[in-house]
Chains A and B, each alone.
Chain A
Amino acid sequence: MGKRVSAEDQNEAATQLVNSLIAIEGVTGEVLSRTNGTQTRNIAHLQCEPSSWRKVAETMKYDHQVDHCSMITGIHWPDSPDKNWEVIYHFLRTGVTDPAITEDGSSIIPNITEPKKLSGKEVPLEIQVNIAIPETRTPSVSSVQDIWVGADWNEKETWDLVGIDFDGHSGMRRVLNPHETPPGYHPLQKQHKLRYHGFEEMYDDAQGFLRKAPDSGRVK
């Protein structure tokens, strides 16, 4: 049958990671087990203070071989009591290492992994780190661009769309919006409206023939 990483291995690895990282000040976390019918996934879910984020990132990368920064989600919570901004980092531990080279140096030996033989820090794992930022007009989190290069463009996108700045990120610029977008315009913030017309308006009178100008009927 096709190979897979077993849920127990993942659970164990996630627990290991979470336990090791809770030791850092300002970090809490747990292992989430989610099922959706056929498979169970175990995610290491951490909540981190902005001040201890850098330390957590370095620990993850150098001590736990978390090597792939998958996505950075930025959320704007204007109505939430405890946080105004949230940055969620999604990581994967892939367990990828460069394949070995044969003795005569002519070709490589491909890495074919046996999931049953993986243990400890080789087990592939999903990790999610939530960083909550209290109310402020200039939210910012330290950048991890130098640790994972994959975070580079993700951080640019998060700043471009949500407005969360990243300390220490070099070359911050607009990526999805046009370059000349006015500074301070970040579309995914909640004060920007989502919709200017309801559906009913569109279906009943698509071209607006029944609408009247606001100053109709006035004597001009």
Chain B
Amino acid sequence: MAEMWISMGPQHPMTHGLWTLKVKVDGETVVDTEPDLGYIHRGVEKICEARDFTQITTYCDRLCYASANTWSHAYIYAAEDLLEVEVPERAEYIRLIAVELQRIASHLMWLGAYGPDIGNLSIMVWCLREREMMMDLLQELGGSRMHYNFPRIGGVKRDLPYGFAQRARAKLDLFKQRIQEYESLFDESTVFLVRTQGVGYTKAEEMVNHGVTGPNVRAAGVDYDVRWAHPYSVYSELDWAPAVERSSVKGADCYDRYRVRVTEMVESANMVLEAIDRIPGGSETHHEPGDPAILAKAPSRAPEGTFGSHHFEDSRGESMFHIVGGGDGRGKNPYRVSIRSPMFITLPYASKCMIGYKVADIPAIMGSFDPCIGETDR
């Protein structure tokens, strides 16, 4: 059979979002790929130039809807860098709890979607069941299940609710037990290992040169993590280590990327448990919204010519916001908001990674990079 171009997408169950992957196929072997993004380009960067700094938080939740808290916090750190605000420590702890819970929820969603890609349908229901627990906790914190609009410039919207610590401990302990079930369905299944090992080899230096970071690069035996390398927030106060996977000699395959995320979930759960114990003021005190212990007063205008930027460890890699101050609202609106999405850079790399493997490996490889098209297209 001659070589032919197959177009996977835009409507396709594999793609985890709205994009096209054109694949040149020689029989069953992939010879060339060409990704096509931009189907849900909503123009967030342009919209933000006409909004106040507090109004932009809402948009940033919707960048990656599966991992909303990480994106709104990434924006808030950059806005605080621009407006030169000092955040109280209690607020940093609460933010860390929100971000890490969101990271667990995002990875659970990924695992729940990765199983059906490989063919296992049961894991989807199991992961979503645990994700419900995380969403309950996040609902207590942020008010809604998906787009929380949780951080404010200078702090957070509200404090930990009464009984949050107790419920979080119960749910996270239960969650850590449940990971055994996922491992029984994945690691102890030869079919899964046969599908994911030896497929999609990637090496660390090449990945970093291509702009890929986060769990994908930690799967290759390197422990680079923005949380300790370019430190922010109170991560250094907690006892944690980035989840690194001892990949095979040829590089990180899909199995390593899967394992690193499972390990990261447990790591995040432990971080949340520790943060609840160490939060200044204790987890049983509750401040009203607007209390200076959780929200510092912040200026609402940025002078001309200033800029703020911040690198952040998103569930999928290193995200970044660069905000230039002093715009049409004479300072109330930013002049330019520039958003770095890890997936925007990883998807072309993942497409390149598929060359040489079979068509049936495409969902395995693509799913293992954890694509989320909301943040890709902004």
Contact of A112 among B89, B223, B296 (CB under 8 A): B223
Interface segment among B38-46, B136-144, B165-173, B360-368: the answer is B38-46
Q: Let me know if A154 is at the binding interface, CB within 8 A.
A: yes
A110 touches B223 (CB 8 A): yes
A140 CB to nearest B CB, Å? 19
Q: Chain B residues near A70: list those with CB within 8 A.
A: 211, 311, 318, 320, 340
Bound complex: CA A179 to CA B311 (Å): 31
Bound complex: CA A97 to CA B203 (Å): 10
A97 touches B377 (CB 8 A): no
B323 CB to nearest A CB, Å? 10
Q: Chain A residues near B349: list those with CB within 8 A.
A: 149
* Number of A-B residue pairs at CB separation under 8 A: 195
Are A148 and B230 CB-contacts (below 8 A) given A96-B204, A111-B222? no
Main secondary structure of the interface of A (DSSP, over half): loop
A side interface size, CB within 8 A: 62
Q: Let me know if B109 is at the binding interface, CB within 8 A.
A: no
Q: Chain B residues near A1: list those with CB within 8 A.
A: 236-239
Contact of A73 among B46, B210, B338 (CB under 8 A): B338
B220 touches A99 (CB 8 A): yes
A67 touches B92 (CB 8 A): no
A203 CB to nearest B CB, Å? 16
A152 CB to nearest B CB, Å? 7
- Interface residues in B340-364 by Cβ distance below 8 A to A read 340, 344-345, 348-349
B304 closest partner in A (C-beta): A80
**In the complex, per-residue mask of A148-173: 1 if CB is within 8 Å of any chain B CB, else 0:** 11111110010001000000000000
Are A110 and B244 CB-contacts (below 8 A) given A75-B335, A105-B249? yes
B37 CB to nearest A CB, Å? 6
Bound complex: CA A92 to CA B231 (Å): 13
Interface residues of B (CB under 8 A from A): 37-38, 41, 43, 45-47, 49-50, 77, 80-81, 84-89, 92, 203-205, 208-213, 217, 220-224, 227-241, 244-249, 296, 309, 311, 318, 320, 322, 324, 328, 335-336, 338, 340, 344-345, 348-349, 377-378
Query: What 4 pairs between A and B have smallest CB-CB spacing?
Result: A150-B211, A99-B221, A124-B229, A71-B340
Interface residues of A (CB under 8 A from B): 1-5, 34-39, 41, 43, 67-71, 73, 75, 88, 90, 92, 94-99, 101, 105-113, 115, 124, 126, 128, 148-154, 157, 161, 174-178, 187-188, 192, 194-195
